[in-house]
Structure 1
Amino acid sequence: MNRNHWHKPLRNRWHKTNRNSHLALTLNGKKKKIKRNDFKAAFTTLHLDAKQQENIFKKMENSKSKWMDLIDDSFLTGDFKDSYKELVEARFERVL
């Protein structure tokens, strides 16, 4: 199955409109350079206790390998895959 026919226009359109943002909505008043404490502040606002928050972070950590697998299976070229993986890795390091 060829998935490239619909991904490219959508990806290009999203990239052009969201160049300066990492998130569509703010998290703890921020759109960029989101860290663990920003998530914790949002979780606290939602009245999640410490155990619930840690479970969410564990699920995030467990999803990292799935992210890498999805990137490997994606339509991107090798260079873009490598760049994307580096970006995802940097984001995980900042949050976890």
Structure 2
Amino acid sequence: MDLFLLTEQKYKGSYEKVGRLVNQYCTNKGLDTINFFELVLFCYLTGNNDMHLKNFSVTHHSDHTISLSPAYDLVNVNLVFPDDSDELALTLNGRKRKIVKADFDAFKMGIGLPERAVLNIYAKFAGASGKVKEVIESSFLPADWKKRYAEIWDKKLSILL
């Protein structure tokens, strides 16, 4: 999945297109597609609106399998740039802002994930809410940023449940 992109092109794309590329090139399509969906959802929930095309890649393994590479650059950009109204770096169901559950539902269909798998993913993230709050609270962020981070998580999670 080498897109050979110029820096100025890294925001011109959709998560659906990346998901289709994961499905096309990865050996374990089901697992990597689920991992990709979880990654996009995590970025949305944590306020990371900078997960652009150059942040996705695949790894070619010695056994000739190909998998989605581990994620990196997972930061809450909304804390640093609170006036940026984009919720995601790439489009999801044609939009970058005012994301709603229907957008993730269309995304799941566009990348071929079954309803049951996505419901399990939502439940997993909802169940991790307490741990997320613990990590935020124990971070070295200033107190007002900790509060905003938790608010971002809660607001976005409530949209999906």
TM tier relative to shorter chain? 0.7 to 0.9
Length-normalised TM-score, structure 1: 0.73
Task: Give a deviation string over 1:23-78, Cα, whole Å, max 9, x none.
Answer: 11111111112121111110011111221121111112122222211210111122
Name structure 1 gaps, 5 residues minimum. 1-9
Alpha-carbon separation, structure 2, partners of 1:44 and 1:26: 15
Alpha-carbon separation, structure 1, partners of 2:95 and 2:76: 23
Identity, in percent, stands at 32
Q: How large is the RMSD of aligned CA atoms in angstroms?
A: 2.4
DSSP-derived class of the 2:89 partner: coil
Alpha-carbon separation, structure 2, partners of 1:49 and 1:79: 39
| Aligned residue-pair number | 85
Length-normalised TM-score, structure 2: 0.46
Q: Paired residue for 1:51, among 116, 126, 133?
A: 116
- The list of structure 1 runs, each at least 4 consecutive aligned residues, that deviate by more than 2 angstroms after superposition, is none
Q: 1:69 to 1:40 in 2, by over 3 A?
A: same
Pair 1:74-2:139 in alignment: yes
Higher normalized helix content (fraction of residues):
1
Partner residue of 1:4? none
- Alpha-carbon contact 1:35-1:95 (below 8 Å) kept: yes
Pair 1:31-2:96 in alignment: yes
